Chains A and B, each alone.
Chain A
Amino acid sequence: MAVIEADNLRRTYSTTTGVIRRRRLAVEAVRGVSFQVEDGQLFGLLGPNGAGKTTTIKMLITLLLPTEGTARVLGYDVVDDSREVRKRIGYVFGGDRGLYERLPGLDNLKYFAELYGVPPREQKKRIEELLELVGLTGREKERVEGYSRGMRQRLHIARGLLHDPQVVFLDEPTIGVDPVGARELRQTIHTLVESGKTVLLTTHYMFEADALCDRIAVIAKGEIVAEGTPSDLKNRVRDGKVVEIEVYGIADATVQTLREIAGVRAVNVEEREQAQLLVVQTETDVELTHTLLGHLNGSNVGRIAAREPTLEDAYVALVSEA
């Protein structure tokens, strides 16, 4: 039995716009997401901002009711058996919020330990162990309001693990954390999986998903556009080429024209300081450099390079096609 099962999850938000006369708008954030996570896996939900990752994870951790579809964690339905689910999962959200600022980190942990039913006799030991694991030993008596972003993140992780849950959900765990801290966090996440836990992680960092996850589902605009192991995803771009062209000033209309050329799979524009970098993914067996340059006749062109595609390109292609 899969530890996490999502079956055609959908979630629509309705919001209001306007000041005097308010109108209702329905936004479908998650449009039929299905996947499964097996025991002991590190599963990654990868996608750009606004793709529906956080909404999906919130449905799985029982904080949001799906508009349609079902999900089960450890066999318990997230809607009907939410209490059973909550007892067995830990979840960690990114960001600065979610802690009682005016009180010390230690008090926060003690409170949540109590909420999650950690037996009183074990609380002290468990808290000490977790502080050690996340590297906050010695800072726990300070008020949270003085913690840095990275420290808060680590405190969140400690909090999420207090009751030794079997399944851990991490929503963008390394966002806003400095590179060294992020590396340590990833190591911690790896350790969790090694100790037998199942982890579902959302991220928009391609390399993070690639490095950590056993399986990845790429989500864009509320739908899963690809799923598989990191190798599977890399194979999708094994064939194909990438041409990078540096231009100084390019119109959107021109980019659109380039996209429509036969043999072009995707065009992505990256802003550099004075120029833009056009990253054009093409089929393997075509030679399009001249055609592309032809369309760019009006603009100033700098360096041109051709290279093999990377997983990053695969990801970009997937999410921009959506």
Chain B
Amino acid sequence: MIAIVPRLFWVGWKFHLKGLTMSSFFLLVSVIQPLIFATIAYYMYEAGAREGTLLYVALGAGLMGMWSSTLFGSGGAIQWQRWQGTLELLIGAPPPFIFTLLPLTLATASIGLYSIVATLLWGGLLFDVPLSIEHPFLFAVSLPATALALGLLGLVLASTFVLYRQASAFSNLLEYPVWLVSGLLIPISLLPGWVEPISWVLAPTWGVKAVRESALGGEPLFAIGMCLLLSAIYLVIGWFSMANFERLARKQATLSLT
């Protein structure tokens, strides 16, 4: 039984990643949207004659894309599974639903890695962004660590959305706030003081720190560690939520779109 789970995860992750890659919506969210925001940010920096490296912007915009794909992929995926008629099949399968859902949310975060690649290439080609990475190895580690943390946050999102049909409307609402509060393009220090503690519990905050400090120089290890810690916390929350929600969904008959 224990041996089955890693394989289940691997197969599930690959399967959903492939499906998401084929979706024009995710092309929009994980490639086009970050590029547009990166471009807007570049021009704003030019207009304001802001000093500082554009690599900062590229990575920030890339992470914005990663958040969007996680948000819409995980929150939206439950609804999408419903419409597709596959939610019932996933819940009706033997494994606990969390084992079928988690590979899906991890895949939505992994799609976000396309965003980082896209914004780096875009910046390098069109805006002469210098693509030199200070700590390449740590950079390579911080990317999956970020994807893991975001994927697990996606699990928490999904477990909240699994019961409610109108959840996708709320998912729209979480895009900008998280971008703001996580300091992806704007340092948190610019925001009111009470925002900072909120940022500490959000995966993107530590993800962008890990990625940026390994690229631009700094102490990424702490941020990577926080990503892993948050991952564990999200997993626990998701675990408990999932059990409860599955039972409620069976009771209230909201598994399929009737």
Contacts and interface: CB of A to CB of B under 8 A. Distances in A.
Q: Do chains A and B touch in the complex (CB under 8 A)?
A: yes
A114 B84 contact: no
B84 A97 contact: yes
Given A91-B92, A100-B19, A116-B94, A110 B11 contact: yes
Chain B's interface size range is: 20 to 34
Interface centre among A86, A87, A93, A115 (most CB of B within 10 A): A115
A114 B251 contact: no
B12 A112 contact: no
Contacts of B85: 93, 95-99
B2 interface: no
Interface string B12-41: 100100110011000000000000000000
Interface string A97-110: 11111110001001
B253 interface: yes
A298 B145 CA distance: 82
Given A64-B250, A100-B84, A86 B19 contact: no
Contacts of B86: 97-100
A131 interface: no
A65 interface: yes
Interface string B74-97: 000000000111101111111110
Given A100-B19, A102-B19, A114-B7, A83 B88 contact: no
Contacts of A101: 84
Contact of B93 (A100, A102, A115): A115
Given A62-B92, A102-B19, A102-B23, A115 B84 contact: no
B7 A61 contact: no
Nearest to B11: A114
A87 B95 CA distance: 9
Given A65-B251, A117-B4, A111 B15 contact: yes
A78 to B, nearest CB: 10
A53 B86 CA distance: 20
Nearest to A102: B22
Contacts of A91: 92
Interface in A33-89: 61-65, 83, 86-87
B253 A64 contact: yes
Contacts, number: 77
Interface centre among B22, B250, B255 (most CB of A within 10 A): B250
A111 B18 CA distance: 12
A13 interface: yes
Contacts of A179: none
A120 interface: yes
B12 A114 contact: yes
A112 B93 contact: yes
A5 to B, nearest CB: 19
Interface residues of A, number: 30
A107 B86 CA distance: 14
B12 A83 contact: no
B199 interface: no
B8 interface: yes
B253 A13 contact: yes
Interface string A151-163: 0000000010000
Given A114-B8, A115-B8, A86 B93 contact: yes
Interface in A155-177: 159
A99 B80 CA distance: 12
A115 B23 contact: no
B220 to A, nearest CB: 35
Interface string A109-136: 0111011110010000000000000000
A87 B255 CA distance: 19
Contacts of A63: 88, 91-92, 250, 255
9 contacts: A64-B255, A93-B88, A95-B85, A97-B86, A98-B85, A100-B19, A107-B15, A111-B15, A115-B95
Interface of B: 4, 7-8, 11-12, 15, 18-19, 22-23, 83-86, 88-96, 100, 247, 250-251, 253, 255
Interface of A: 13, 61-65, 83, 86-87, 91, 93, 95-103, 107, 110-112, 114-117, 120, 159
